[in-house]
Amino acid sequence: MAYGTLRAFLKALEKEGDLRRIRVEVDPYLEIGEITDRVNKAGGPALLFENVRGSSMPLAMNVFGTDRRMLKALGLKSYQEIGDKIGGLLKPELPQGFSGLREAFGKLGSVAHIPPKKVSDAPCQEVVLKGDEVDLDTIPALHTWPQDGGAFFNLGLTHTKDPETGVRNLGLYRLQRHDKRTIGMHWQIHKDSRNHYQVAARRGERLPVAIAFGCPPAVTYASTAPLPGDIDEYLFAGFVQGKRVEMVDCQTVPLQVPAEAEVVLEGWLEPGVMRDEGPFGDHTGFYTPMEPFPALTIDCVTMRAKPMLQSIVVGRPPTEDGPLGKATERFFLPLLKIIVPDIVDYDLPEAGGFHNCAIVSIDKKYPKHAQKVMHAIWGAHMMSLTKLIVVVDADCDVHDYQEVAWRAFGNVDYARDLSVVEGPVDHLDHSSYQQFWGGKAGIDATRKLPEEGYTRDGGWPEMVASDPATAARVTRRWKQYGL
């Protein structure tokens, strides 16, 4: 079972010696970011900064910074557990597309334990501040990198709903603190919350927004998952943690937030109210430039009596994004196979920002099978943003980068096996020569068939491998060799 609160998880980590308390005063301007980045890259523990300059709130960092902690937070022994559970829902009848996941959930006898549950009293509303009582400067925001355009909240879970359908969305977006009552909403072009804002603006309406910090781990993870707009992130969070997420009505906006959150910001976005946001040292490892984004006025802050905040440092990998991204890679393999059933396995390298590169293995059956898979992936929901796809045979371990490199570097005729196309790219992609779209490549690193034009004598050669009988004999005698 996943941990039901951030506090319970931190307590368990401290008991195991996997959390360190920093009691000396630390500066949210550059210092906390530098400390956290060093500890994360060294594979170190979660951190709880108890004395943050300018705030009375402790700040939890690097909470999901290792695979061990990520799995522990979600109550898992391996990422494959959830992948297998999702895969089990999709059999024997595979639903059509991602939206079929909702119907698949309905097959569970325990479905009543998954949807969120409304409660009337919540720890996150023990303290309520409204109007002029609101002061965002008392909540620790991080200025992580020298050229950042200001201080940012990096792990605020943003709640909106479609003004026409009422379907809610939970997303994770960076939030720049402009002043005591205003934050910038970095809603990229492909994000659901941006679509909600545009619908409201077209209707001449303001959009209600609620931002929750320090949520139960499964909820925080669900906010990062690339779910289609018609699947409720709270349904998915309940599925992951094995129990319903308790929700409470906000004080001033018609939205619900997790009852066990630490801090919640509530406000309304007026149509057309924009402010310059950024620059920001992002997960790409580069600064994203200043752009105008919607500016949210905070009318109400609710919190626990003694709240803490949770945040994250992003930048050049590896960072805390790594375990979060790996969880998504493993969880969503069964869903990707619905759209592209040819896939045996895949890997999304952290060095590629996860969505920029995909290594895919297939059981090749016919000429240009690899190219078919490439184009299918480029048409699969958020996988459309993938810039590089490397397709290998099923006998290649996609998680062994040395093996993949051996296949892709020296066993490819790039005049024939390289596909170059154009399509949508991430909003944050600085390498494309114009924003939002650019070049993509697919590398066919599979064995080539005669029907694909590989007509050299003898056909595609066999890979070097040990004689099985000799290998078994050497294994039996290994101790005799004194090695």
Which residues are catalytic, by number? 282
User: Which secondary structure element, helix H or strand E, spans residue 235, and what is its range?
Assistant: helix 233-241
Amino acid at 464: V
Question: In this structure, what token pair is assigned to residue 86?
Answer: 């999702």
Question: DSSP letters of 311-346?
Answer: ----SSSSSTHHHHHHHHHHHTHHHHHHH-TTEEEE
| 45 three-state secondary structure | coil
Q: Which residue has the tokens 């070049």?
A: 439
- Residues 219, 4: Cα–Cα separation, whole Å: 9
Q: Which residue has the tokens 């077209």?
A: 202
Instruction: For 183-218, give one letter per residue: b (16+ CB within 10 A) or e.
Output: bbbbbbebbbbbbbbeebbeeeebbbbbbbbbbbbb
The answer to whether 101 and 144 are in contact (CB under 8 A) is no
Q: How far is CA 282 from the centre of its chain?
A: 14
The answer to whether 266 and 252 are in contact (CB under 8 A) is yes
Question: In this structure, what token pair is assigned to residue 247?
Answer: 């929700």
Question: In this structure, what token pair is assigned to residue 28?
Answer: 């949210």
Neighbours of 357 (CB within 10 A): 18
Phi–psi pair at 222, nearest 5 degrees? -60, -30
3-state helix, strand, coil in the chain (%, to 5): 30, 25, 45
- Residues 126, 248: Cα–Cα separation, whole Å: 12
The answer to whether 215 and 261 are in contact (CB under 8 A) is yes
